Structure 1
């Protein structure tokens, strides 16, 4: 880990990060949230990040749109594949959005020594992600989608749908 990443991650106090993003983009980030100060991170106007949420973007681009509400206890991490969350999204409590995966092709090599992959994640506009959901690397969520609580999304969900389950499947088309 390079020195600038260490300074940004560990030595910049949370209230300073809260004030920085408030001044830069009008976003409200709780001082009790853990948000990295990173050149890869952008957050839109009027977005809110609640307490005990962790957002990591030092290893890849992470763009959060305007009027996005991220509830308490979430974990959001991007890698080199990137992560984009559209405008007007609601992210419920304890949601995990994980932008990487371990390689696992070599049986004789420990998983942590095989490296990672990162396809990226795209979340459309006006999406509601229920409490406890997990969004995995490679997922694409269309516009106007609702994902029921405790679902796991690992593939593509089309626009205007409601999805549920592990893995999440479309259960209803919104009209």
Structure 2
């Protein structure tokens, strides 16, 4: 039974990669060693680009909604249900529907050798350094320096790794 599950995951991953290559052409770059478990989703606007480093692992239900750019360094792993957005709705005009006000956009960059645990959401403009661990259920709305561990407490807790 295990061999069938592995074959199924491999066929699913290859099918998804081919789908994204057909839909987005060269705007999503899958480097060598890319792996996934279950479905992953990329939603790219017209000029958006995604670069995935070598040896990236995406767990079930990863999704990225990108208007400009997402760059992920080599050897990063992502837990289930990770969400990444490089944009946020503009909501300055109370007399105009939010859906008609457009977006604020700023690139997202994730360094090398990072572990982003399950149910993490990463928002626009965030740069995550190298060798960072982000614990489950965190909302990442500001930059995280290299060699840090981020955990969810009452507030975002960033600790330098020793």
Query: Under a length normalisation based on structure 1, what TM-score does the superposition of the two structures give?
Result: 0.77
Aligned to 1:29: 13
Matches within 5 A, 1:26-175: 29-31=13-15, 36-37=20-21, 38=24, 39-59=26-46, 60-80=48-68, 82-165=69-152, 168-170=156-158, 172-175=159-162
Q: CA deviation at 1:54?
A: 0.8
Aligned residues: CA RMSD = 2.3
Q: CA deviation at 1:66?
A: 0.3
| Matched residue SS, 1:156 | coil
| Matched residue SS, 1:31 | helix
| Matched residue SS, 2:64 | strand
Unaligned segments of structure 1, at least 5 residues: 1-17, 20-27
**Is the Cα–Cα contact under 8 Å of residues 91 and 128 in structure 1 kept in the other structure?**
yes
Q: Deviations over 1:16-65 (max 9, x none)?
A: xx88xxxxxxxx82536895331311111001133221122343011110
Give the 4+ runs in structure 1 shifted more than 3 A.
Answer: 30-35, 166-169
Task: Point out the structure with the larger strand share.
Answer: 2
**Is the Cα–Cα contact under 8 Å of residues 65 and 85 in structure 1 kept in the other structure?**
yes
Task: Point out the structure with the larger helix share.
Answer: 2
Query: Under a length normalisation based on structure 2, what TM-score does the superposition of the two structures give?
Result: 0.82
